[in-house]
């Protein structure tokens, strides 16, 4: 390990030719989204190719969901005002936490009321054209280890040391952190003395995660039962984009199994069997929604080679389900300051490009769709900063590879594992919006096209947007191209829309939206180019 670097990889308006429709009216309420096996692009029930820009909404502690009352709160709420804000700024997806301890707070006792609350959020978001990836989030596996994710009964090694580096197995005299008698968990102030990621190298976390992979005390079956409950609840919900099996899975007990420090080994040995079992648990109730799956969170890079590719050889359901599974990956720069922020623009850009290329090669290997479900976690962005450079580079890479994304995260939601004092969201604690961050995220992009995306780009400085897609006139929809743009932030004095071939589409403008319809079936298979620029 001495010569390795370990890093965390971490509304709409639909128009017919005669009248406009709102997002909630125009979006299909038919289930479900799929992956086009030829293009690897996500398609909706009408057959339109889709791109998604959104945010994470992860409330890590009890009650495991945001406040849904009428009062807006810059840290904790997700109410009608929040949902309207997300819709107004062009977001069409959220990666939403559905907690295992929320569903099963005590072993064999399931909380249907909790799932009802999650369903209410999903439906309210969906009616505004915002779809949900239901994410089983975890960091460090358990609150007992300064993280979250699994119910208490699944934390089998709570009496092992959770001290971070240096390696705790070499220092048996180090004891676990003191426990708060009111909660049964370590004191947050003790936990926050170190970056949360260092605790992955503790004996307790490694052995507890390994207990999942090894199915000690039938934990895999218990985890599968959790996912079965979720799938049973949401199997016919048209606003669910899919289920994400496990956030940032750790490699397991890397001290007893040193080979698992190599991600290709940990992926194949530990994750692939687990994912197959979880796939089967979900498919008992839901054969249609997409399953999202991640590689191991540990990445190694020797001086003489690039970052390692995944060891997964196929998606959770095998090749027969390639139209219903998406490879989920995270992008964070390792070159960071004490607040977890990118600190060297040049090096971060190089690392981002290298790792992104690895992820794209993974997609080819797995033959599935792809989605950057986490990136960001920036404090307030400022022009010219290393963090802004990193963000712009990731947006450029996502566009060039036609990848959807969800920023980490919308609000702090009391995130006790963050290094950035919860300013990673879109609001300051006083309730004002972080303007530079919002402008970065509320960028011009195409939500949907009747056909397949060929390329897209957006220049945040000049506001120029470009899109090329291959027309498919067999897709029957009220609109053939839908583009979101934030007029206030990018086009305060108006904008021009140029289409080539210029007679191929009718163009309609509405507040923050451009929609286009084919003029003739004769353009089937043609490349349609759309440019939006300042007046």
- Cβ neighbour number for residue 41 with a 10 Å cutoff: 21
248 annotated active-site: yes
Note the helical H segments in 455-525. Answer: 487-490
The token pair at 424 is: 């990673």
How many Cα atoms within 13 Å fall on the side-chain side of residue 148? Answer: 22
Indicate the SS3 state at residue 135. Answer: strand
Specify whether the CB–CB gap between 499 and 505 falls below 8 A: yes
| Residue among 285, 287, 239 at smallest CA distance from 118 | 239
| Residue among 370, 531, 525 at smallest CA distance from 450 | 525
Specify whether the CB–CB gap between 523 and 23 falls below 8 A: no
Indicate the SS3 state at residue 241. Answer: strand
Sign, Cα dihedral of 62, 236, 328, 24: negative
Note the helical H segments in 408-450. Answer: 435-441
* Strands 369-375, 20-22: pairing kind: unpaired
Indicate the SS3 state at residue 146. Answer: coil
Indicate the SS3 state at residue 209. Answer: helix
Specify whether the CB–CB gap between 250 and 260 falls below 8 A: no
CA dihedral 302, 306, 311, 314 (to 10 degrees): 180
Give, in order, the Cα–Cα distances in Å from 383 to each of 367, 374, 436, 440, 534.
38, 22, 8, 10, 21
Distance of alpha carbon 484 from alpha carbon 506, whole angstroms: 17
- Cβ neighbour number for residue 459 with a 10 Å cutoff: 15
Q: Crossing angle of helices 272-283/203-213, nearest 10°?
A: 50
| Residue among 489, 9, 35 at smallest CA distance from 249 | 9
Catalytic residue, from 104, 248, 374, 424: name it.
Answer: 248
Q: Which residues are catalytic?
A: 248
């Amino acid at each position: 390990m001495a010569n390795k670097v370990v890093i965390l990889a971490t509304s709409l308006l639909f128009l017919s030719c005669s009248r406009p429709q709102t997002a909630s009216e125009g979006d299909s309420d038919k289930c479900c989204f799929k992956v086009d096996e030829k293009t690897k692009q996500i398609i909706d029930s009408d057959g339109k190719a889709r791109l998604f820009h959104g945010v994470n909404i992860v409330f890590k502690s009890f009650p495991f969901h945001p406040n849904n009352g009428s009062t807006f709160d810059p840290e904790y709420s997700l109410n009608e005002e929040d949902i309207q804000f997300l819709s107004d700024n062009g977001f069409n997806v959220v990666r939403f936490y559905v907690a295992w301890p929320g569903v099963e707070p005590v072993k064999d006792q399931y909380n249907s009321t909790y799932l009802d609350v999650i369903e209410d959020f999903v439906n309210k978001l969906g009616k505004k054209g915002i779809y949900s990836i239901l994410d089983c989030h975890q960091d460090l596996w358990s609150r007992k280890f300064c993280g979250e994710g699994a119910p208490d009964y699944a934390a089998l090694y709570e009496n092992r040391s959770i001290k971070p580096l240096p390696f705790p197995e070499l220092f048996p005299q180090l004891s676990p952190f003191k426990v708060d008698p009111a909660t049964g968990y370590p004191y947050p102030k003790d936990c926050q003395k170190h970056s949360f990621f260092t605790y992955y190298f503790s004996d307790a976390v490694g052995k507890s995660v390994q207990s999942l992979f090894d199915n000690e005390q039938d934990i895999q079956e218990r985890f599968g039962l959790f996912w079965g409950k979720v799938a049973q609840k949401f199997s016919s919900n048209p606003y669910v984009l899919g289920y994400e099996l496990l956030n940032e899975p750790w490699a397991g007990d890397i001290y007893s199994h040193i080979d698992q420090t190599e991600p290709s080994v940990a992926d194949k040995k530990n994750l692939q069997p687990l994912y197959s079992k979880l796939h089967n648990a979900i498919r008992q109730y839901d054969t249609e929604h997409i399953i999202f799956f991640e590689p191991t969170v540990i990445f190694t890079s020797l001086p003489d080679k690039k970052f390692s590719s995944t060891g997964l050889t196929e998606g959770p359901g095998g090749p027969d389900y390639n139209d219903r599974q998406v490879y989920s990956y995270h992008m964070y720069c390792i070159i960071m300051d004490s607040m977890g922020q990118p600190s060297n623009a040049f090096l971060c850009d190089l690392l981002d490009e290298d790792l992104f290329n690895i992820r794209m090669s993974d997609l080819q290997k797995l033959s599935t769709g792809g989605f950057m479900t986490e990136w960001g976690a920036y404090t307030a962005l400022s022009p010219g900063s290393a963090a802004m450079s990193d963000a712009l580079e990731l947006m450029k890479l996502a566009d060039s590879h036609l990848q959807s994304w969800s920023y980490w995260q919308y609000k702090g939601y009391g995130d006790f594992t963050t290094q950035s004092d919860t300013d990673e969201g879109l609001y300051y604690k006083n309730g004002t919006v972080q303007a530079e961050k919002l402008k970065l995220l509320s960028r011009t992009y195409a939500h949907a096209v009747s056909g397949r995306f060929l390329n897209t780009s957006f220049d945040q400085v000049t506001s120029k947007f470009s899109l090329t897609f291959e027309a498919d006139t067999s897709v029957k929809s009220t609109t053939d191209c839908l583009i979101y743009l934030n007029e206030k932030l990018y086009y305060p004095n108006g904008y021009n829309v140029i289409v080539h071939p210029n007679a191929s589409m009718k163009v309609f403008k509405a507040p923050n939206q451009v929609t286009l319809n084919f003029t003739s079936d004769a353009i089937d298979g043609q490349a349609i180019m759309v440019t939006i620029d300042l007046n």
